[in-house]
A and B are shown apart, each in its own frame.
Chain A
Amino acid sequence: MQETYEPWGKLKKSRVDTIYPDQNLFSLQGRSNISYLPHGLGRSYGDSCINSHGDTVHIATKGYDRFMLFDHEQGVLRCESGVSFASILQVIIPQGWFLPVTPGTKFVTIGGAIANDVHGKNHHVGGTIGCHVKSFELLRSDGSRLICTRDQNVDLFRATIGGLGLTGFVSWVELELKKGSAFFDVEHVKFDNIDQFLRISEESDHTFDYTVSWVDCLARGPQLGRGVFMRGNHSTMSSHETCVVSRKPKVGVPFEFPSWVLNSYSIRAFNEMYYRRFKGFERHTSQHFEPFFYPLDSIHNWNRIYGNKGFYQYQFVLPKDEVDALKSIFDIIAHSGQGSFLAVLKEFGSLESPGILSFPKAGYTLALDFANGGAKTLNLMRRLDEIVMSHSGRLYPAKDARMSSEVFKASFPQYQLLEELRDPMFHSDFWRRVVG
């Protein structure tokens, strides 16, 4: 049965044969040259979640979402790979536990989170999700079922974390949870430029477990890189029992906006307004975790605001001593007038993930959306690539839809290890594009 798939960036739709994990997984082997790719909630922006060239099949984990074990004492959870972070939160919060790491949306599956080795606001203290995975079971197309841990099948354990779903099908995962309230004490600190950001980030990372900044990427000159620094800790005052996890987004974007809605004027106006909304310093105690972690989850299909041509997300990391390169990237974006209002800046810590192809490393990461403006958008990103590359940076595969094979191979030289451990019957459009 074919289904239509559209990654989160909405650049392209594909029709792909779809099977479900409860069917006999690799029974389609009679087809020669067939290739599989697991597909969760489709929150990857580009083509890393799509396998559409040739005789391809998606293993859809939608509905493959049973919990298998939840140890309330030790905070260990075992569940099938299609369980979403939203469901996990619903179950663990009443028992006083929280996700050890979460990205900016709770609508991802645990399988997808591992495949992309996702990170969050606590990277500087908690690392990536892969740092908290105890074990998982991996089904390979040769029929083997392997339990992978830090001591057992270690190579495949490390290749699967951040392995973009290419090492086989993860059937279940065992995750270590974190003790903590679902309410947060949050502070907002405005910064006028990038140097102020660096200072606030430096001092906050010692005292706050969660930090992230919104940046006005269209501000120029002395205000280059101005924004709002958000930092927080699990609240120690509120009890978790009162916390309700919202089930569905409250409002939605009912259709794709016309492409002229977002232009450099409207975005500049939005950014100005957003920036001014904040006082220099604000403190909010006992804030519900949802607006803090998942502000965009409250708007259903927010990706439709970029119109029917879709958008690119560009996320890179630069080492900590490459601040000048970071500044020149801000400068290029501000002058191009193409930036968007969703620009997120964060300092990564030095905790290493077990994942071979894991994206984060110590330094600064910036994530930006660019509405798909065709050649001019692609040219801008190519210019940014050059700076990122020449300063030992790299791009996040989960967000990418366009980096060249050269850029990928140079910034992730360890890709060959993953290529060796890839299940020969698993592939993706992303992997074909960057590795061939």
Chain B
Amino acid sequence: MKKNIVIFGATSKIAEETARLWAIEGHRLILVGRSLERLEPMKQDLHSRGAEEVKTLELDFANHLSHESFVDDLYQENDSRIDIVMLCHGLLGSQMEDQSSIEKSLEVIDVNFLSYVSLLTPLANKLESAKKGSLIIVSSVAGDRGRQSNYIYGCAKGAISIFAEGLRNRLDRSGVNVITIKPGFVDTPMTKDIEKNKLFALPEDIAYGILKAEEKRKSVVYLPVFWLFIMTIIKLIPERVFRKLKL
């Protein structure tokens, strides 16, 4: 059956690759991003790949108070039928610059956490009353522990992981599945200035993992799966040792 799928932060490479896999399956896609102009070439691409319909919507992620009416309109225009919602927008920032600027630190928290809260609050209520659907939240392994090299981005991701965990707990009885995706390093424009090594995964592989996680109604998924082992070990390191590490 054709599904209605909404993707927030659709121009992110992980979102785009996931959308391509859904397009090949012939679903209807609604892409939400900061700029319609940047969504336009994606529209043609997904349509050529087989999506039954591709709509694009512009949203200012920083304007939190507009999000409720945005979600209302979204549901109204689609006859309250949304099968999958994916939130993927993000801003990596630069730890060195962020830690010396209140403004930049708050921007990272704003994009990666606060805008999720303002979108997920109305979205969760809609899904809860529909009593079905999947909610995919793209967090990060960076949120599993605070490290000197990345703790501002990391704490926003950690916060969204906990928010997602709570939502999953709340929506479970409504039949709505909330999935937390925790990718490791991914070779995308977000990481274009970082030297690549063997830990870097391809965005299309992450996308494939997301599709499988949705189909199998998973809860928390590390992608690629080896990050589960890496992060399990990292989480086990006692704080008195961890504080001395250069991570």
Binding site for B on A (CB under 8 A): 1, 3, 20, 63, 66-70, 77, 79, 90-91, 94, 247-248
Contact = CB atoms under 8 A, between A and B. Distances in A.
Given A1-B193, A3-B196, A63-B189, A68 B44 contact: yes
Contacts of A247: 204, 208
B45 A66 contact: yes
Interface string B1-39: 000000000000100000000001000000000000000
| Pairs A-B, 4 closest by C-beta atoms | A67-B48, A70-B48, A66-B45, A67-B45
Interface string B32-60: 00000000011011001110000000000
Contact of B45 (A3, A63, A68): A68
Contact of A91 (B49, B193, B204): B49
Contacts of B42: 66
Contacts of B24: 90-91, 94
B121 to A, nearest CB: 34
9 contacts: A1-B193, A3-B196, A63-B188, A63-B189, A66-B42, A66-B44, A66-B45, A68-B48, A70-B49
B45 A1 contact: no
A69 B44 contact: yes
Contact of B13 (A63, A70, A91): A63
Contacts of B244: none
B192 interface: yes
Given A63-B13, A68-B44, A247-B208, A91 B50 contact: yes
A67 B192 contact: no
Contact of A67 (B44, B193, B196, B205): B44
A106 B171 CA distance: 43
Contact of B192 (A1, A90, A94): A1
A3 B191 CA distance: 13
Contacts of A68: 41, 44-45, 48
B196 A91 contact: no
B91 to A, nearest CB: 18
> Which of B13, B42, B204 has the most chain A CB atoms inside 10 A of its CB?
B204
B231 to A, nearest CB: 23
A254 B50 CA distance: 35
B22 to A, nearest CB: 13
B14 to A, nearest CB: 12
Contacts of A1: 192-193
B192 A69 contact: no
Indicate the size class of the contact surface on chain B: 10 to 19
Contacts of A66: 41-42, 44-45
Given A63-B188, A70-B48, A247-B208, 16 more contacts: A1-B193, A63-B13, A66-B45, A67-B44, A67-B45, A68-B44, A68-B45, A68-B48, A69-B44, A69-B48, A91-B24, A91-B49, A91-B50, A94-B50, A247-B204, A248-B205
Nearest to B49: A91
A253 to B, nearest CB: 15
Contacts of A91: 24, 48-50
Contacts of B192: 1, 20
A63 B188 CA distance: 8
A63 B204 CA distance: 10
A248 B208 CA distance: 11
A94 B208 CA distance: 19
Contacts of B44: 66-69
Contacts of A248: 205
A66 B45 CA distance: 5
A69 B45 CA distance: 7
Interface in B164-189: 188-189
A67 B13 CA distance: 15
A69 B205 CA distance: 25
Contacts of A69: 44, 48
Nearest to B24: A90
Nearest to A18: B192
> Which of A3, A66, A68, A69 has the most chain B CB atoms inside 10 A of its CB?
A66
> Which of B45, B188, B208 has the most chain A CB atoms inside 10 A of its CB?
B45
> Which of B13, B24, B48 has the most chain A CB atoms inside 10 A of its CB?
B48
Contacts of A79: 48
A94 B193 CA distance: 38
Contacts of B193: 1
A70 B47 CA distance: 9
A69 B192 CA distance: 28
B38 to A, nearest CB: 10
B47 to A, nearest CB: 8
B83 to A, nearest CB: 21
A304 to B, nearest CB: 14
A420 to B, nearest CB: 34
B28 to A, nearest CB: 17
Contacts of B45: 66-68
A141 to B, nearest CB: 23
B200 to A, nearest CB: 12
